[in-house]
Chains A and B, each alone.
Chain A
Amino acid sequence: MYIQLLKTVAFMLFIAGNKIHAQVQEYVFINIWDEYSQTTHLPKAQGERIYVQPDINIDQASLAQFKRAYPAFENLIIDIDNQLMFQYQIRQTPSRVIVKDGHVLLKETLLSTPHVTTNAVTTEKMTTLSGKPLSQGQIQQDYRVLFFSDSLCPFQHIPDCQHRIRQNNELANHKPERILTIIKPFYVDEQSAHNYKKRFDINHHVVFDAHNQLFTQFEITDLPYWVVQDGNGRVIYRGAQVPQKHYLSL
């Protein structure tokens, strides 16, 4: 609560500071998750340009990662509690608002161009990050514990993820060859799964579920999440609580 209060005060001071030092401010509202897949056409700046990320699905780590990928947005700030969004009634990104002495001179939606992507039919076989081929049959035979996780961890929609990943690592210390971690593909690519493996020091097989097929097959809506199957591939446990060690010996 105090951190949130401090963030709000710091944000207000930042905005007030800009108002004092520059008569004309230009707020450019972007959504970083869209910016990864499309480029905003930025018109000539008409004042001190401040990039603003709405306070929706964002945290400081994601913001920092975006700035590293796109240094042009180095002064991008999070609109804490969407104060500017409400003040200027912004409901669409990308948009810009030009303000002089507290008065709005211009408010407009900006254009953006999607990045070119190919829609080639993907026929590649699923493999672990270390290159081991995986078929549905192998997943049933080779692994007892399937750990469904998200490489965006830590993030607000998966609040307990770091703890559960630690628990899974402890479980994997017993029989790492029996555990498969499966990474959610939403908003990330395979590199993110590699980073996850390194960041959390994973000692067992990890697969990037590129087409979300394992998540769909096992009907996973909670994350991170365990599914335990017996030697015949029959699911004998599923839940957000770490399974017991004896399952690994089945």
Chain B
Amino acid sequence: MKIPLLLLCLLSISAHAKQYAPLQAQTLDTQRISTQGKVTYLKFWATWCAYCVEEMPVLQQSHEDAQGAYQVVSVNIGFNQSLEGVKHYLGKHHYNFPTVFDSDGTITRQYRVLGTPQHILIDAQGREIYRSGLFTDQLAQKLAQLRGLK
């Protein structure tokens, strides 16, 4: 009886895990990125969002630490933003993580993002592993686990 119950629980969990179609996009420096088959840390942000800007050094660090364990994709939500303004901001601070400019809001909508910042971790199958509004200890721990540190 216990095994079917466990199976039911697992099925129930997997049935509720949000899964997204692979994201295919072009970054600001014209590189093609894809989430297909890759553990991806997505960060949605805007330059007018004070919390987002404050967290940017942490995002850069996460990108530098990744070492192939996951990929970082930053998504500027494009609302009240300009492409040139975003490029200028990233260049000024020497941030070099892959960034996508969501000019029409499609990506933001696809991932049901209604606030900034928004951190989403998805597995290689596109299932959402974790989501938070801020860069939490839990998120740091999950990224460390992916790198095999904890």
Contacts and interface: CB of A to CB of B under 8 A. Distances in A.
A86 B105 contact: yes
Interface in A108-153: none
B114 A239 contact: no
A56 B77 contact: yes
Contacts of B137: 222, 239-240
Interface in B95-127: 103-105, 109, 114-117
B51 A85 contact: no
A221 B80 CA distance: 24
A211 interface: no
Contacts, number: 63
Interface string A75-89: 000000110011001
Given A89-B104, A221-B54, A82 B133 contact: no
A181 interface: no
A91 B136 contact: no
Contact of B134 (A54, A85, A91, A222): A222
Nearest to B116: A57
Contacts of B17: none
B133 A158 contact: yes
A54 B116 CA distance: 13
A215 B137 CA distance: 15
Interface of B: 48-51, 54-55, 58, 77-80, 103-105, 109, 114-117, 133-138
7 contacts: A54-B79, A56-B116, A82-B109, A86-B105, A221-B136, A222-B136, A240-B137
Interface of A: 31, 34, 54-57, 81-82, 85-86, 89, 91-93, 156-159, 186-187, 212, 215, 221-223, 239-240
Given A56-B77, A57-B115, A186-B50, 5 more contacts: A57-B49, A86-B109, A91-B104, A187-B50, A215-B54
